[in-house]
Amino acid sequence: NAGVMQNPRHLVRRRGQEARLRCSPMKGHSHVYWYRQLPEEGLKFMVYLQKENIIDESGMPKERFSAEFPKEGPSILRIQQVVRGDSAAYFCASSPDESSSYEQYFGPGTRLTVT
């Protein structure tokens, strides 16, 4: 399966713990996007990364949230000291380049529950 992969699919964390969400883009894609979705709402852009570079992080809270896309390995979205308000579905998407980013390929998402 050459699609976008995300793991874990479900993640439960207690308040104050750290959450690490992983995303492997589609084969041949070097641009990765992270979105957050609350029930009954649209997807909210968080961050856009290219290999080893953060291109746009304007949608990501400045505190507790960070993202990386290393030269080797998956992209990681890290949430430190989680709070109940962080409970949501987090989707990552990929595209081969920015010009074709109107068509983003999404992974199945990680459902984060903070207890």
Partner 1 sequence: GQSLEQPSEVTAVEGAIVQINCTYQTSGFYGLSWYQQHDGGAPTFLSYNALDGLEETGRFSSFLSRSDSYGYLLLQELQMKDSASYFCAVRNRGSTLGRLYFGRGTQLTVWP
Binding site for partner 1 (CB under 8 A): 4, 31, 33, 35, 37, 39-45, 48, 55-56, 58-59, 89, 91, 93, 95, 98-99, 101-109
Joined tokens for residue 23: 């995303």
Nearer to partner 1, 14 or 99 (CB): 99
8 A C-beta contact, residue 5 and residue 107: yes
- Closest separation between CB of residue 94 and partner 1, Å? 10
- Closest separation between CB of residue 91 and partner 1, Å? 7
Supply angle C-alpha 96, 30, 42, rounded to 5. 75
What SS3 class is residue 4? Answer: coil
